[in-house]
Every structure is written in structure tokens, then in C-alpha cells.
Amino acid sequence: MKIIYTDVLIVGGGLAGLRVATGVRERGHDAVILTLVPPKRSHSAAAQGGMQASLANCKMGEGDNEDVHFSDTIKGSDWGADQMVARMFTHCAPKAIRELAHWGVPWSRVNRGDHTSIINAKKVTITEKDEAHGLITARDFGGTKKWRTCYTSDGTGHSMLYAMDNKAHEDNVEIHERLEAISIIHENGRCCGAIARNLMSGELVAYVAKATTIATGGYGRIYSVSTNAIICQGMGQAIALETGVATLGNMEAIQFHPTAIVPVGILTTEGCRGDGGLLLDKDGYRFMPDYEPDKKELASRDVVSRRMTEHMRKGKGVKSRYGDHLWLDITILGREHIEKNLREVKEICENFLGIDPAVDWIPVRPTQHYSMGGIRTKYTGESQTLKGLYSCGEAACWDMHGFNRLGGNSVSETVVSGMLVAEYISDFLESSDSDISIETKNVEKFLKIEQDKIDALLTKEHGEDAYKLRRRMEEIMMEKVGIFRNGDDLKEAVTELEELLKRSKNIEVFRSKSRAANPALVNAYRTQKMIKVALTVAYGALLRTESRGAHSREDFPKRDDANWLKRTIMNWENESDTMPTVSYEEIPIDSMELPPGFRGYGKDLTQHHTDTKVRQEVVDKIKSELESKGANRFEIQNELMPFLDKLPKKYRATNERFGENV
Ligand SMILES: Cc1cc2nc3c(=O)[nH]c(=O)nc-3n(C[C@H](O)[C@H](O)[C@H](O)COP(=O)(O)OP(=O)(O)OC[C@H]3O[C@@H](n4cnc5c(N)ncnc54)[C@H](O)[C@@H]3O)c2cc1C
């Protein structure tokens, strides 16, 4: 049996995992990354539209700063986010983006003088300042007050990931490819590493580490149609859950993206609408202004997805053999713009639909896209309940997105949280608190448990077909735990998923009994884990009797702050359990910088908490007193909700912008 020792084990070689690895290497610690695929093929490469950072370089970004970014993020989250974490994030995003530029990301830049943009279906001339020429520019995205989404055409994730991967190599990060973490080693509330399976040889390897970080991305593939890569199966969340100690947060918070192509579900970026693209119905009618007169196509993602679904339910969808859809029209942007700024979208349309988006409308429909929930952590990225286990990126519930994330805030989160978590891990490693003393025989026990499970799968006869169980799970999630949810469907979903979980204890590996490279075996052991993750989503959604952000209950349409201003926490207490255990974590209003309010979409149906009014009065009083004394925005912010002391010292400095004296 093979055991590898390291300071930091990072499960996941996407943007988040790579950024953590680079950070801890720079502090002098060893780091090993485990990844299913070569890092450059991680799902982060699929991110098209951009990364939010309040640089305020371009004309339409003028006036932007951390405060505006913070306010957009909290409203976007429908007040479900941790406001201190959101503050830490918005403060550090400009630093992270400049660092990436330094490491080679070719961000699209401001060009001095006039250029034409399409805004609200009209051509508008925008004049860029001379002094901003050559600085990082930004485009418009949903739910943002300013143009803040920085980009490299529509290949943002690709260029970020390539730069991060190169940096990790430069820093001598050890990368173990095609090594899949299948369980976490832990004893007495302390995480000590992970058991991994070599996907080529089938060998099991134990990695013992002082700190272990899960950066395995989201769990979109528990749905039958998703914009996510097929490796986004929630394995990181599942192995954390299976410890029985680590917890998951807000698993029911699932985002649907408005514009995935029909039928395959590949994404066309929000940048299409950010750059001026329109949504049209079967009559070629632009319907979004009727529903959201202010933000129109650029309302928050959850809102646009719901409005599209509503419109199709009214019979306004385009009939097709793959079900109803709507149109995304980017023809108005012109060929030159599409070939320069939306070139991946063009290729996707050509290769998967056989159309030219400079001439043809694109068939689109809302599709599962992002997992706001994940491994519940403290602001340091460490699990709240399992010492030495960290998580960041889409795998985590850190929790800056609450119940809906803004476009462009995710790749931004990966690099910001990665950069911060690397510092907190390094601090931990440099303290005596990080010592571990697990005996080899105990590590071997964990290896044996996993070996026995695999043996049982391979020797089982007359059992269940994992592919069928998984297919049914995906259908249940799509049909009953989708954009609009209701109690009856959710109850059925939970009952059926629990039944599938019971059946999954009897899985047989059909087709090949090989211990080495064997997709059927991989599917067999992942299916049960995926069903557990699906159960946490469906059960969390059933219990949350309100609508918040992307969680929309038709039977409970109000956002209910009085009863539901809390995070759902899921735990899997015993291996033999067939349901997760649920608890809740309060989101305290009395420390909020931005007390709960109206998001600005549709009618305000919020059932307010009694503490909201009290806190709003306190906030207003602090602001007016300090403003009358001539305090600046930083001093006021610090009085409302201090956060700088939580940041590593090197990231505390104020960000500089044009026209702002700091
Ligand atoms: C089509 C698409 C477009 C998007 N566009 C944008 C955008 O424009 N802007 C934005 O902000 N966000 C965007 N997002 C979201 C964003 O891309 C992701 O949230 C983000 O890239 C996730 O990065 P990550 O590092 O957390 O995980 P990932 O990039 O998903 O990486 C996960 C890593 O974990 C590894 N892994 C998984 N399981 C295991 C295991 N058990 N053992 C070992 N390794 C494992 C994988 O090999 C991979 O290396 C988009 C998402 C999609 C689906």
C-alpha cells in the first residue's frame, strides 16, 4: 500500500485549486494537487464571459468601487450571503485580477477614443479616456450597476486557467493527474488527507497531509441537462459529507443559466446579453422589458431564467422536437464584434447547431449551471467542524453568493478565495496547531475500507445497474427540483431519491470487472455518492418553505426573512443512514452592513424580520453622523462592518482608481 506525505493536499486542479497551491508554495510549503484530468482541462476552462473586479477603468465602469460591487453581490444573493466574506472578496478582486495580468492573462484592454456599443437595442457611442488607454477593460453583466466584468474575449476561464497552470509549474507544485480522491482520512475531528484511486492503474494511494483542500468544483451533473463539464459530479462535496463530521451548506441553492443552447445545454455566455444581445419569443418579440422594465435581459440570472420559463408557460416558446425554447439574438452586434469578442459562442453555434450567430438566432433555454452550495467553511476556508479540511472555489459554501451568484463572480471567487485560503493554510501550517500524529496502521485502515468497497462492487452478482440509477436521479432532479419548485414534487423527489440510495447499496459492475481503467467501476462508486449529494439538494429545497434567489417555491413565493434568514447545514451522521441530518445556521442581521431590502425585481414580496428595521436605523445613523464629520467611504464602511483585520496583512491595502483620492 502506497502512502505519500505532504504539507498540503489539494484535491482539484481548476482555478481554485491551482491558486491555493501557488499560494502555499510561495510561503515555502509542499503542495500536491490531485486531479481527474490535466489541470488545463478542468471545468474552469469553460468560463467564457469574464471575471468581476471593480477597476473602474472603462467609461461605463466609472464610479465603480468595492462598495458598489459589494452591494450588487449582496442583492444578487438575495441577502443569503455572508456579508463579511463578500466584503473580503470585493476588496481583493482588483488585486487578484492585476496579479493574473502579471502572470500572463491577456485581459482585453481599454482603447482610447470613440467606440460603438449596443445598449438596450440601440447603437451608442462611448468615448474612452486617453489616460485609461491600455488598462483592463470590462463589459456589462447581469445584476451589476456598472460595467465590471473583465474578460479576454469570451475565453476568460481558458486564459486564466492556462496562466494559473503555468504559474503552478513555475512554483514546482506537484500535480498528480488522473488521481481521484474517493474518501477523506480523518480521526478525532482532524482531517489527515485523502485516499485516492489511480484512474489508469486502479491502484489506491493514501495521501497524508497537514492540511487538505477540496477544490473540486460544482455538482451540476446530478441534473440531466447542465452547462457543467461531465466531471462536475459533486465528488468533493460527497467525500466531505461521508466523513460524518464535515458539513455542507445551502445545497438547495442551484442556479439555472438563461442561455444554454437547445438541446445539448452548452452555454452561450451572459456576455452575449451584456454586449447587447436580446431574448426573443416565438413571434420574434422582445419580452424581457415587459417583465423587468429596468434591467431587462440583464436582470439577475435567476430572475431572467424564471421570466423565460414563465413566458414559455404562456405558450410563447418556440416548439421543437426537444421541447420549447426561446431565441437569443446577437445578430445586432455585427459580425466583427462577434468574431472578436464572442468567438467561442460563434464556434459553439457552428459546431453544435450548424448555424452562424451573426445571421441566425440561437435556440436557448434555462439550464442547470452553478452550485452556490458546497462544503461549509469559515471565512478562512476551513471546515467549521473538521479541523485541517479546507475548501474553496465552487466546491465550497464560503459563502459570498448566498442564494444566487452574479455572473463573473465565480471565477473571481476561485482566485480570490484561493489566494486568501492559501495564506490561512500557511498560517495554520506555521503554527503548532497543525501537527498530526496519525499512525500508519490507521491510514491503512482507510485504504482497506475503500479497497473492500471496490472489491464488493466488482464481485457483486445480480445487483443494480448504476447507470440506470444515475439516469433516474438526474431525471428526478431536472423534473422535480428545477427552476420552479413545489412541495408535492419535492416530497416525491426526496422519497424517490432515498429509494435510489437504498438500491445503490446493491450495485453490480456490469460489462467489465477490470480493476484498472474501468469507466463502469468509476460510475458504480460515484453513483451512490451523487445520489447522496442529490438528496441534500432536494431535501434542503423541500424544507425551505420560502423563495430566495434561485430557490423559487411556487407554493411559498415570498422571501421569508422572519423565518428563513438562515443557512441550511447538512450532515451525514452514520454511513448506514439513508437521509442527511439537517440543521440551520442563523445569518445575523445585527452585524450586517447592508440590512435586508428589496432586490428590485418584480413585486416586493419580502416578509421582513423585525430586526431589519432596527439595524437599518443603526446603519443610517452611523452613516449620517460620520458623513457630517467628513468621514470617507472607507471610514464609514469600517464602522459599519469591520473586515480588514480578517485579511492577511499583504492584502489589506486600499485599491487605487482613476478619479478617487485614497
Ligand atoms: C459553461 C460555463 C461558463 C462559465 N462562465 C463563467 C464566467 O464567465 N464567469 C464566472 O465567473 N464564472 C463562470 N462559470 C463558473 C466558473 O467557471 C466555475 O464556477 C469555476 O471555474 C469553478 O472553478 P473551480 O476551480 O472551483 O473548479 P473546476 O474548474 O471545476 O475544477 C475542479 C477540479 O477538481 C478536479 N476533481 C473533481 N473531483 C475530483 C476528485 N474526486 N479527485 C481529484 N480531483 C477532482 C477536477 O479534475 C478539476 O481539476 C461558468 C461555468 C460554466 C459551466
CA of 43 to the centre of ligand 1 (A): 4
Task: Annotate 51-67 with DSSP letters as a single string.
Answer: EE-----SGGGTT--HH
Ligand 1 contacts CB of residue 212 (under 6 A): no
End-to-end CA distance of the chain: 58
Ligand 1 contacts CB of residue 355 (under 6 A): no
Q: Provide the CB-side half-sphere exposure for 495 (13 A, CA).
A: 6
Q: Give the DSSP H or E segment for 2.
A: strand 2-11
What does the chain come to in residues? 662
Ligand 1 contacts CB of residue 152 (under 6 A): no
Give the C-alpha separation, 373 to 10, whole Å: 19
pLDDT at 588: 96
pLDDT at 662: 61
Whether 325 sits among the annotated catalytic residues: the reply is no
Residue with CA nearest ligand 1 atom 52: 47
Q: Which three cell numbers stand for residue 112?
A: 482610447
Ligand 1 contacts CB of residue 149 (under 6 A): no
Residue with CA nearest ligand 1 atom 2: 47
pLDDT at 154: 86
Ligand 1 contacts CB of residue 155 (under 6 A): no
Give the C-alpha separation, 329 to 566, whole Å: 39
Q: Which of 9, 15, 20, 44 to mutate to test the pocket of ligand 1 (most atoms within 8 A of CB)?
A: 44
Q: Which of 411, 421, 528 to mutate to test the pocket of ligand 1 (most atoms within 8 A of CB)?
A: 411
Q: What is the mean pLDDT of each run of 10 residues along the chain (662 residues)?
A: 95 98 98 98 94 97 97 97 98 98 97 94 94 96 94 94 98 98 98 98 98 98 95 97 98 97 94 95 97 93 94 97 96 95 95 97 97 98 98 98 96 98 98 94 97 96 96 97 97 98 96 93 97 98 97 97 97 96 97 96 91 97 97 97 97 91 65
| Cα 248 to Cα 31, 245, 438, distances in angstroms | 25, 10, 25
CA of 370 to the centre of ligand 1 (A): 9
Residue with CA nearest ligand 1 atom 9: 408
Cβ within 8 Å of residue 135, ≥6 positions away: 55, 57, 109, 110
Residue 641: closest CA among 417, 374, 379:
379
Percent helix, strand, coil in the chain, to 5, is 40, 20, 40
Ligand 1, closest atom to CA 418? 25
| Cα 147 to Cα 59, 69, 386, distances in angstroms | 9, 10, 40
pLDDT at 602: 85
Whether 169 sits among the annotated catalytic residues: the reply is no
Task: Annotate 194-221 with DSSP letters as a single string.
Answer: EEEEETTT--EEEEEEEEEEE-----GG
Ligand 1 contacts CB of residue 216 (under 6 A): yes
pLDDT at 210: 98
- b/e 308-343 (16+ beta carbons within 10 angstroms → b): bbebbeeebbbeeeeebbbbbbbbebeeebbeebbe
pLDDT at 381: 98
Ligand 1 contacts CB of residue 562 (under 6 A): no
Q: Which three cell numbers stand for residue 525?
A: 462508486
pLDDT at 202: 97
Residue with CA nearest ligand 1 atom 23: 44
Residue 462's identity, in one-letter code, is H
Ligand 1, closest atom to CA 232? 30
DSSP structural state of residue 351? I
Please name the residue that has the C-alpha cell 477597476.
55
Distance of CA 120 to the CA centre of its chain: 28
Q: Which three cell numbers stand for residue 363?
A: 435556440
CA of 287 to the centre of ligand 1 (A): 32
Among the options 43, 69, 91, 273, which is catalytic?
273
Ligand 1, closest atom to CA 231? 37
DSSP structural state of residue 316? I
